[in-house]
Amino acid sequence: MEPVDFYFDFGSPYGYFAATCVDELAARHGRTVRWHPIMMAAMLQATGTTALPLVPIKGDYVRHDIRRTARQHGIAYRQPEPFPALLVAPARAMLWIRLQYGEELAVRFAKRCYHAYFAERAALADAATVCQLAAELGVAEDALAAALQSDQVKTLFKQETQQALARGVFGVPFVIADGEPFWGFDRFGQLEAWLAGRGASWRYWARKARGPVGAKWKTPSSATAVNAAS
């Protein structure tokens, strides 16, 4: 069956929540997931909007909702500082790891970064921190550090973002299944029903016990906006 496409930005708490369960959700219905790191700043520019936490009045609600959502789903969460932040290094690193080590390790790395940022308050904007997290998983730290500055990896990240925009992705987390778009962690109930083809219950998914992200690996259109990350 066709894989599900999962678009995310490492600075998105709702993307983090989605990352804790998207693979499990898809697997229940015989699907795999293609993970796509993208730059939310490009989506904001393309839609003429502002990051929700920065919007007056609404930002306070969003911060409250993030904490409430984490509690509801039993997901470890400690708001990082500063927040929100532009996190380019982990996205570039994931794409390079995918090229050098394969999809499985790239996804493990993405989950590890998410947990480090939103549960441990790791300085994910710092390339050295990103390289250290990758080294926990057996990635060559020096080679990754050099790759993060390469034109090849920068271009890969821009392409991922541009391709997402071309598919109509305007926010994160964003999932496309069989051509059907689902925006937001709060649409995962609808996504589940779509994949099941028979209206699977949101309540079943919400009660499903899940361990913390990264627990298995403790040891280790908007070309202008895209170019801004160079």
The predicted-structure confidence for 172-193, as pLDDT tens digits, reads as follows 999 999 999 999 999 999 999 9
Name the nearest CA neighbour of 31 among 72, 3, 69.
3
Q: What is the pLDDT of residues 51-99, one digit of tens each?
A: 888 888 999 999 999 999 999 999 999 999 888 999 999 999 999 999 9
Q: Quick one: pLDDT at residue 50?
A: 85
Average pLDDT over residues 18-30: 97
Q: What is the pLDDT of residues 107-123, one digit of tens each?
A: 999 999 999 999 999 99
**How many whole angstroms separate alpha carbon 166 and alpha carbon 9?**
17
Report which secondary-structure segment, H or E, holds 64: helix 58-73
DSSP state at residue 54: G
Joined together, the tokens standing for residue 227 give: 């170019």
Query: What are the residues whose beta carbons fall under 8 Å from the beta carbon of 228, sequence distance 6 or more?
Result: 41
Q: Quick one: pLDDT at residue 54?
A: 84
Query: What are the residues whose beta carbons fall under 8 Å from the beta carbon of 149, sequence distance 6 or more?
Result: none
Q: What is the pLDDT of residues 192-223, one digit of tens each?
A: 999 998 544 445 455 555 544 443 333 334 44
pTM: 0.86
Joined together, the tokens standing for residue 22 give: 């998207």
Average pLDDT over residues 144-158: 97
Average pLDDT over residues 15-21: 98
Q: Quick one: pLDDT at residue 210?
A: 52
Asked if the model's pLDDT at residue 35 lies above 60, the reply is yes
